[in-house]
C-alpha cells in the first residue's frame, strides 16, 4: 500500500485515491498544430524512476493532487494540490 499524505486530509491509503496519469503534460493551445495535440494526448515518456503524476482523492476531499513518485520503488517524494491557487495558499505564498 502506498501512503499518500493528502495536503487537505493528511496521510491516507492509496486505495482512497484514483490515479490520473502523467502530470508533466502541458496541453497546447486549441489552435496548436495537430502534431502538438497528438504528442500531448498519446505520447508518454513512461519514466522508470521519479515522475510527476496526478491523483484524485476520490474517497476524501475529491481534490486533484500532483505527486512526485518513484515508479520503481513507489516512494513518494512530494505531494501538493494540482490547482496552483490552492497550492500557493497552502504553501503560504498568498
Which residues of the shown chain bind another protein in the complex (CB under 8 A)?
1-2, 13-15, 18-19, 21-22, 34-35, 38-39, 41-48, 51, 53, 55, 71-74
Identify which of residues 24 and 89 has a Cβ nearer to another protein in the complex.
24
Give min distance, CB of 93 to another protein, in A: 29
Q: Is there a contact between 64 and 58 (Cβ–Cβ < 8 Å)?
A: no
Query: Cell numbers at residue 70, please?
Result: 518513484
Cβ proximity of 46 and 33 under 8 Å = no
Helix (H, G, I), strand (E, B) or coil at 87: helix
Instruction: Provide, rounded to whole angstroms, the least separation between the CB of residue 8 and another protein.
Output: 20
Answer for the pair 84, 77: CB distance below 8 angstroms, yes or no. no
Supply the minimum distance, in Å, between the C-beta of residue 94 and another protein: 31
Amino acid at each position: 500500500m502506498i501512503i499518500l499524505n493528502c495536503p487537505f486530509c493528511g496521510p491516507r491509503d492509496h486505495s482512497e485515491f484514483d490515479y490520473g496519469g502523467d502530470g508533466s503534460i502541458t496541453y497546447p493551445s486549441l489552435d496548436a498544430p495537430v502534431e502538438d495535440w497528438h504528442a500531448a494526448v498519446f505520447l508518454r515518456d513512461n519514466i522508470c524512476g521519479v515522475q510527476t503524476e496526478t491523483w484524485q482523492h476520490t474517497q476524501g476531499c475529491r481534490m486533484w493532487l500532483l505527486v512526485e513518485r518513484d515508479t520503481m520503488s513507489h516512494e513518494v517524494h512530494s505531494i501538493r494540490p494540482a490547482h496552483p491557487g490552492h497550492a500557493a495558499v497552502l504553501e503560504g505564498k498568498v
